[in-house]
Amino acid sequence: MKSTKFHLVFLTLLLPGIALRAFAERLSADTAITIPLGGNSWRTDKDTIGGNISNDGIVNWTNKNAEFVTYVRFAKPGRFKLSLTLKVPEGKSLLSVTALGRSHQVSVSGATLNDHYVGEWSVTDTGYVAIRIKGMTKTDGVYADITSIKLSGTAIDSHTAYVKNNDGDFFYWGRRGPSVHFGYLFPEKENIQWFYNEVTVPRGNDVLGSYFMACGFGEGYFGMQVNSPTERHILFSVWSPFNTDDPKAIPDSQKIVMLKKGPGVHTGEFGSEGSGGQSYLLYNWKAGNTYKFLISAKPDDHNHTVYTAWFFAPELGSWQLIASFSRPQTNNYLKHLHSFLENFDPEQGTITRKVFFNNEWIADENGKWTELNKAWFTIDNTGIKGYRMDYSGGIDGGYFYLKNCGFFNNYTIRNTIFERPLGGKIPDVALDKLP
């Protein structure tokens, strides 16, 4: 290192500008990164056998129809050379690697992990590049076990975005994609008992694994999910004050108590991401329709707060009770109001989804309504670390919107504050007549 610095200073004194720039470019060309496939890749074909992505990368690859894609975001134009780190248990294989409209083929063999040079590509703009790997021929059962892709060249720098390692289980979180949030600005010193929001998922954005969370507060959340091709939930959950991911570990004195629930609503406990009381209604909500969500929080005289959630579907034309929970060791009204969009299925992390939030209102304990029209945009650790940058939020058509996943290129700066136009449309709900 000292020798490199000495010669660079020496050349600065002796070489003309053009020669020095050429030398600097050669140094930059040595910049290299290793992209672990376990956190950055997906199988793209419809077959489910003969090859899959594990934490170790591409494994059990026997199916000739299997194709795999890896996404990397380049922060500057330039060139990059690509190598695959792999082994072939038996025989030889011919692989094809495609990126930016160009393909290179490489013959690979060897039962121990080794780097195999594939080719060089040119990046003309910033943004995501899809690197696709396909098997052409093989002489034995497995095409290859591929652990990583190595890139080097002038297009690579410290801002090149990809999931770097599995510390903190980030292969899982990275493949899920970044979660995006709006925190609503309101006078938190007031006793806010009610929070109202309207949610519209545009047609084609009701992607499997999506949670469109409408009414978030300091102790829980309320929104709608796409749980399977045939099942959708209206989900309302409240965290226990006892900090654990195991609901069985919660002492009885700190358990969430279900007070009442609406017709057809399922209730129980949840874990893994904190623990507490959960309720959901099986409801086949439709993309393109606007749904209304209402939450209330009311402290009682015994150091408990009662949280209740209602849902309004235009197809039904009336407010539906989801559930009412009592949370112990709590004596407050609604705090930290927010909405978010997340993908909870890692296999769906390559698909973009978007949601609109509009006509947000709060009401105090006397039922006095105040419209909310300012919110700040935030992201989760997957975005904060720069592992994935396919996230955005802002104003679209006078509505707040959130968007994530799918490796789109334009992202929104974290903590940007947005202000939508005031609508003045007070919620059409009789608070004293709710079920």
- Walk across the sheet containing 67-74 and list its strands: 41-43, 67-74, 127-138, 92-99, 102-109
Instruction: Indicate whether 137 and 194 sit together in one domain.
Output: no
Domain boundary among 162, 195, 220: 162
Instruction: Indicate whether 133 and 204 sit together in one domain.
Output: no
Q: What is the pTM of this model?
A: 0.90
Instruction: Indicate whether 101 and 227 sit together in one domain.
Output: no
The 10s digit of each residue's pLDDT in 94-148 is 999 999 999 999 999 999 999 999 999 999 999 999 999 999 999 999 999 999 9
Q: Which amino acid is at 332?
A: N
In contact, 75 and 126? CB cutoff 8 Å:
yes
Instruction: Indicate whether 262 and 150 sit together in one domain.
Output: no
Instruction: Indicate whether 185 and 141 sit together in one domain.
Output: no
Q: Has residue 169 been placed in a domain?
A: no
Any idea which of 23-27, 211-215, 217-221, 323-327 has the lowest mean pLDDT? 23-27
Per-residue pLDDT averaged across 215-236, rounded? 97
Tokens of 169: 């289980």
In this model, does residue 333 exceed pLDDT 90? yes
Instruction: Indicate whether 321 and 215 sit together in one domain.
Output: yes
Listed in order, strand segments (DSSP E) in 100-164 are: 102-109, 114-123, 127-138, 145-152
Instruction: Indicate whether 85 and 179 sit together in one domain.
Output: no
Spatial distance between the Cα atoms of 179 and 163, rounded to a whole number of angstroms: 15
Domain span holding position 253: 175-433
Domain boundary among 162, 189, 217: 162
Instruction: Indicate whether 216 and 112 sit together in one domain.
Output: no
Q: Has residue 25 been placed in a domain?
A: no
Q: What is the residue-averaged pLDDT of the chain?
A: 92
Token pair 């470019």 in the structure block, residue: 25
Instruction: Indicate whether 151 and 222 sit together in one domain.
Output: no
Confidence of residue 18 (pLDDT cuts 50, 70, 90): very low
Q: Has residue 37 been placed in a domain?
A: yes
- DSSP reduced 3-state for 13: helix
- Report the number of secondary-structure helices (H) and strands (E) in the chain: 5, 29
Per-residue pLDDT averaged across 192-205, rounded? 98
Domain boundary among 162, 193, 226: 162
Q: Has residue 6 been placed in a domain?
A: no
Task: Give the closest residue to 338 by CA, choosing from 242, 241, 428, 218.
Answer: 218
We report the CATH number of the domain holding residue 128 as 2.60.120.260
Tokens of 191: 């006793």
Please tell me the predicted confidence (pLDDT) of residue 7. Answer: 35
Tokens of 149: 């892709």
Q: Has residue 10 been placed in a domain?
A: no
Tell me the three-class secondary structure of 22-73, residue by residue.
HHHHHHHHCCEEEEEHHHHEEECCCCCCCCEEECCEEECCCCCCCEEEEEEE
Tokens of 284: 């086949």
In this model, does residue 305 exceed pLDDT 90? yes
Instruction: Indicate whether 156 and 226 sit together in one domain.
Output: no
The number of domains in the chain is 2
Confidence of residue 22 (pLDDT cuts 50, 70, 90): very low
Please tell me the predicted confidence (pLDDT) of residue 16. Answer: 43
The 10s digit of each residue's pLDDT in 244-299 is 877 888 888 889 999 999 999 999 877 776 778 899 999 999 999 999 999 999 99
Any idea which of 63-72, 244-253, 381-390 has the lowest mean pLDDT? 244-253
Please tell me the predicted confidence (pLDDT) of residue 234. Answer: 98
The 10s digit of each residue's pLDDT in 397-418 is 999 999 999 999 999 999 999 9
